[in-house]
A and B are shown apart, each in its own frame.
Chain A
Amino acid sequence: MASTVGNQQFAADQAATIAGDGQWPLWEVFTQSAQGAPHEHAGSLHAVDAEQALQNARDVYARRGGVISLWVVPSGAITASRAADSGPLFDPGADKAYRHPQFYKVPRGVRGV
């Protein structure tokens, strides 16, 4: 059932490294809802390996249909930005109105610009 999106060995290593507390390792689950749509984060779950993570993800996140594809990623493989840094990290994108089409004036009545 599983086919690798990335590197299976990497996934296995990651899973093994986060299993120190007696719990099965944690996996992040991404679901695709329609043909051509991007995979989006749905949640997470514990599973002993990638194959079981996929099966559990099917039961937890796809049991009412609406999902055509699943990815599971060892949580430890994800590096996330920190909420405390979000100001300086994202501010540069907030004050650049010239990156949006509405910033530019187009003569009245001109279509398709």
Chain B
Amino acid sequence: MTQTRTAPADDPAKVAAFEARIAAGESIEPNDWMPERYRRQLVRMMSQHAHSEIVGMLPEGNWITRAPSLRRKISLLAKVQDEAGHGLYIYCGTETLGVDRSELIQQLLDGTAKYSSIFNYPTLSWADIGVIGWFVDGAAIVNQTILAKASYGPYARAMIRVCKEENFHKRQGYEIVATLANGTPAQKAMVQDAVNRWWWPSLMMFGPSDTDSPNTAELIRWKVKRKTNDELRQRFVNLTVPQAVAVSLTLPDPELKYDAETDNWQFGAIDWTEFNQVIRGNGPCNRERLDARRKAHDDGAWVREAASAYAEKQRAKQAPEAA
């Protein structure tokens, strides 16, 4: 968002002292001096992360009223509620960097902010809810576990809280997947179809390949990121393949094979054209997601107005003589 403007030149002595602190493993706190570029990179990353939590409620919210049992419904409600909370934690984190939350939210509503490409895919069946918990939350946990060691204190602490809460998200998803995988042939076919649709978009969640990721080197040097996109993606694949085998589901990649030398599951080429299309707003649901978000924001205006009016009334009651 602020990338297009060039950051003002920072005092080289201050930058050197800052980088020495980072190298020594110190955390950067809101009151500490930081290079303008570090601040902007964090605002960019954290706001995209917060937006993703908020938009991420939409594909799952689609199934709350159609969950197959009360047990599934309360779990899904609790999970979607968590995502809202996670968005708030991270928005608050960005405010410690001197940005205004309302400005970031406006960028999301305007369609100028980015959020994770994964949420622009549709949730076509109930099995998608299971697979999202397993893949999408699984991938998010891989990412966020590392971000919990990020050099910026408020972001790292928000990630610790998020990771603790998110443990149940992946398990509830995998429970749905395992149940369907052991169900009727139709249920098994439904969950396999969901796996086939979500696998590749989930791998894309880790972002562009290291060879094509302009921000990675700087973010690693400043210890905002501790592992590259490709390293995290590999970790996710290594974790997930045995979990798929355990419930007799196939991952849609004929090139997937174990490499004993590196102890990694090697996977086929990712379709980056699709990734770039979705990022640029041409995914299956980009427009629908933003429309839903704008509608929710507009429909909620009366709640915000009522809360302010009530607070004003309370103030007037307590200090009648002041008027």
Contacts and interface: CB of A to CB of B under 8 A. Distances in A.
Given A106-B174, A110-B243, A111-B242, A101 B168 contact: yes
A108 to B, nearest CB: 9
Contact of A103 (B29, B168, B242): B168
A17 interface: no
B157 interface: yes
B218 interface: no
Contact of A104 (B29, B171, B247): B171
A112 B168 contact: no
Interface string A92-107: 0000101111011111
B243 A113 contact: yes
Contacts of A111: 239, 242-243
Interface in B156-177: 156-157, 165, 167-168, 170-172, 174-175
Interface string A14-57: 00000000000000000000011010000000000000000000
B78 A5 contact: no
Q: Do most interface residues of chain B lie in helix, strand or loop, or is the interface mixed?
A: helix
A8 interface: no
A100 B30 CA distance: 32
A3 interface: yes
A6 to B, nearest CB: 10
B38 to A, nearest CB: 16
A48 to B, nearest CB: 23
Interface in B168-193: 168, 170-172, 174-175, 178
Nearest to B75: A98
A109 interface: yes
A104 B31 contact: no
A106 B25 contact: no
Interface residues of B, number: 30
Contacts of A110: 174, 242-243, 246-247
Interface string A69-113: 100000000000000000000000000101111011111011111
B27 A107 contact: no
B207 interface: no
Contact of B157 (A36, A69, A96, A105): A36
Contacts of B30: 5
Contacts of B174: 104, 106, 110, 113
B78 A98 contact: yes
A33 to B, nearest CB: 12
A98 B25 CA distance: 37
A36 B71 CA distance: 38
B168 A36 contact: no
A107 B247 contact: yes
Given A3-B31, A35-B27, A36-B27, A113 B78 contact: no
6 contacts: A98-B74, A101-B168, A103-B171, A103-B172, A106-B175, A107-B246
Given A107-B178, A110-B243, A110-B247, 13 more contacts: A5-B30, A35-B26, A96-B78, A98-B75, A101-B168, A103-B172, A104-B168, A105-B178, A111-B243, A112-B242, A113-B138, A113-B174, A113-B243
